[in-house]
Amino acid sequence: MCHKVIGMNKKEDFISLEHVHKNFAGVHALKDLSLSIKKGEIHCLAGENGSGKSTLIKVISGIHVPSEGVIRIGDKILNRLTPKQAIALGVQVIYQDFSLFANLTVAENLALNTNLAQNKKLVSWKKVYQLAREAMDRLQIDIDLKREVGTLPVAQKQLIAIARALMFNARLIIMDEPTTALTGKEVQVLFDIVRQIQKEGISVLFVSHKMREMLEISEKITVIRNGSKVAEGPTTDFDEKLLTYHMTGQEFTDEKYIITTESNETPRLQLGNYCGNGFQNIDLCLHKKEVIGITGLLGSGRTEFAKALFGMQADTTGTLRIDGEPVQLSSITDAIKHGIAYVPEDRLSEGLFLSQSIKRNILATTLDSIGNKFFLDKIILTERATQTVDEIGIKTDNTDNAVNTLSGGNQQKVVLGKWLLTHAKILILNGPTVGVDIGSKSEIHKRIRNIAREGDLAVIMFSDDINELVHNCNRIIIMHKSKFVEEIPASDAEENDINNRLKELA
C-alpha cells in the first residue's frame, strides 16, 4: 500500500482536509480524517453505508462544520465553510436525487439558477435556451430542452444535474452514489463524461460502494470505515478483494453455487414457448434447489418476463407448468396461490411498508392464512414474525419497531422474509441486493442459497450485478431482445466473460 505524505504536492491540491473530526451529540462520525484531492483528479471515496461518507461530503460542501481540523482550498485555510462559500470556491455536489425540478423543462432547470443569481425579474426565454444549449454542448450531450425533467430517464436527469453543476464554474464535482440507478451502458456514458470533465482540470470525487466501478474510473481511492480513513492510495494498488477487506474489515470467500439436479424429477417450473409483452419463445426447465441467474441489458425484456411470472401479465401464451401442472397466472393472487414469491426491484416503493412494524411487513403476505377472518391471534402473529426474523437473520430486538429503523440490508431481508411464510415453491428475485452494502450482501446471498438448498425452492435471480450471479447461480442465462440467447453453467461462468458478452450485445 502506498501511503502518500499529505501536503507533498500541495500546490497541485484543489482541496485538502486536515485532521478533521466531526461529532454529533456524542457520536464520533469522523475521526482524524485527512483527505486531499488534486486538480483534475478522479478520486474515489469508498465506504459502506454508515461509514461517514455522507458526513464527509457535507463537511466539504459546507453543510456540516467540522468539530476539529481545517479545510484548505487553494491558499485559503478555513476552520469552517458555509455552503455559499463552498459553491463560490467551486465545490458542487450532485446528490442521489439530483435536486432537479421535475415539473420544469430541461432548459428551465439548467438556466434557472443563473437567472436567480442575476436577480432578474423578467425571463428572457431566448437567453434561457441559449444558456441551456451552451451547458449541453459543453458535455456534448443532446437532450430535448423543452421536455419536462420528470419524464426523463434517470440517466438523463443525472446528465442534466452534471451540466447544471458545471455552469457554476465548478472546480470539484462530488457525485454521491451516481451509478445506483444506472444500467451498465449508462454507467459507461457517465464515465466518459467524468473523464471529459477531468480534461478541463476539474476534480471529481466519486462516492460509491460499488467496487468494479471505483476501480475502473478512479485514479486514487480513499477508503473510510466507521469514520476513520483505513486505506488510501493510487487505484492500481487495489483490487476488489482488498477493497472489500478495507471497507468491511472482513474477508469474504467466494464460492460458486453448484448443485446436481436429477433430470428425471418433475421440474418445479417448466416453460414452453412462453411469450408475452417483452419476451418471446422462452423455454426453461427449472428444478428445485436450483438458483438460476438471468441478466441482460436494459430493454432486454427481463423485467417484463420477471413480472409475467408473478402474474402481472394476464395474456401470456405458451405453456407454464409448476410441478408438472399446467397453470395460467393471470393475477398476482394466482401467482401467490401457485407458490410463486417475488422480491421486487425497488424495495422502497414496491417492497416495504416503511412506517409499519417489521411484524406487519413480514406478515403482509400471509394475513389470510393466520386464524380466521374475524380474529388474528397476536401471539401467533408475533411467533411467526419472530421465527422469520431469526430464520433470515434480521437484526432487531423488537418486531414491533418500524421497518424504517432498519438498515438497507436488514430491510431487504424483511422483503425476502415475508415470502418464507408463504411456503413458496419458486422465488423470483429482481435485483436482490441493489443498494445493499457488501457485508449484508454476502449474508443475503448466503441466506438465499440456504433457502434454495434446504427449502427445496427454485430461485430465479434477475440482476445487473454479474458478480452476484456468478457466485450464487448454478447457471446464468443472458437475455437479449426478448429472447434467451445464451446459457452458461456455473462451472464455466467468469464475470469478465459475461460482461464482455453483454458489451458485445450493446
Partner 1 sequence: MPMHRNSQPNIRDFLNRNSNLLQLIAITALIFIVMSALNPAKFLRYYNFDSIAFSFPELGLLSIAMMIAMLTGGIDLSVVGIANFTAILAGKLFQAALVGKDLPPSATLMYVLLGIVIVLVVGTLAGMFNGFLITKVGITPILATMGTGQLFVGLSLVITGGPAIVGFPEMWSMIGNEKILGIAVPCWIFLIIASSIAYILNKTSFGIKLMLIGTNAKAAVYSGIDKNSIILKSYMLTGVLSAITGIIMSGRTNAAKSDYGSSYVLQAVLVAVLAGTNPAGGYGTVFGVFIAVIGLMFLSSGLMIMRFSNFLVDFIWGAFLLLIMVVNYYNNRRQAARK
Q: Which residues bind partner 1 (CB under 8 A)?
A: 332-333, 335-336, 342, 344, 349-356, 360, 363-365, 367-368, 370, 373-376, 378-379, 382-383, 386, 389-390, 397-400, 405, 418
Q: At what angle do helices 106-117 and 154-167 cross, to 10 degrees?
A: 20
Cell readout for 249 is: 474489515
Choose between 12 and 383: whose C-beta lies nearer to partner 1.
383
Choose between 390 and 494: whose C-beta lies nearer to partner 1.
390
Q: What is the rounded CA–CA span in Å between residue 20 and residue 17?
A: 6
Q: How far is the CB of 55 from partner 1 (least distance, A)?
A: 16
- Closest among 415, 456, 419 to 436, alpha carbons compared: 415
Choose between 180 and 333: whose C-beta lies nearer to partner 1.
333
Q: How far is the CB of 252 from partner 1 (least distance, A)?
A: 24
Degrees, nearest 5: CA angle 153-154-155: 95
Cell readout for 378 is: 397476536
Choose between 219 and 334: whose C-beta lies nearer to partner 1.
334
Choose between 365 and 499: whose C-beta lies nearer to partner 1.
365
Degrees, nearest 5: CA angle 169-170-172: 160
Q: What is the rounded CA–CA span in Å between residue 460 and residue 426?
A: 8
Q: How far is the CB of 205 from partner 1 (least distance, A)?
A: 27
Asked if 370 and 376 touch (Cβ cutoff 8 Å), the reply is: yes
Q: Give the CA count within 13 Å in the CB-facing half-sphere of 347.
A: 25
Q: How far is the CB of 43 from partner 1 (least distance, A)?
A: 31
Q: How far is the CB of 123 from partner 1 (least distance, A)?
A: 33
- Closest among 195, 198, 224, 197 to 54, alpha carbons compared: 224
Q: What is the rounded CA–CA span in Å between residue 294 and residue 275?
A: 16
Choose between 346 and 486: whose C-beta lies nearer to partner 1.
346
Choose between 254 and 390: whose C-beta lies nearer to partner 1.
390
Burial of 367 (0-12, 13-18, 19+ CB in 10 A): exposed
Choose between 288 and 347: whose C-beta lies nearer to partner 1.
347
317-322 vs 269-276, strand pairing mode: antiparallel
Choose between 152 and 335: whose C-beta lies nearer to partner 1.
335
Sequence-separated (6 or more) residues with CB below 8 Å from residue 249? 225, 230
* Cα dihedral value 142, 148, 152, 157, nearest 10: 70
Cell readout for 454 is: 434446504
Q: How far is the CB of 130 from partner 1 (least distance, A)?
A: 41
Q: How far is the CB of 411 from partner 1 (least distance, A)?
A: 12
Q: How far is the CB of 483 from partner 1 (least distance, A)?
A: 27
Q: How far is the CB of 353 from partner 1 (least distance, A)?
A: 4
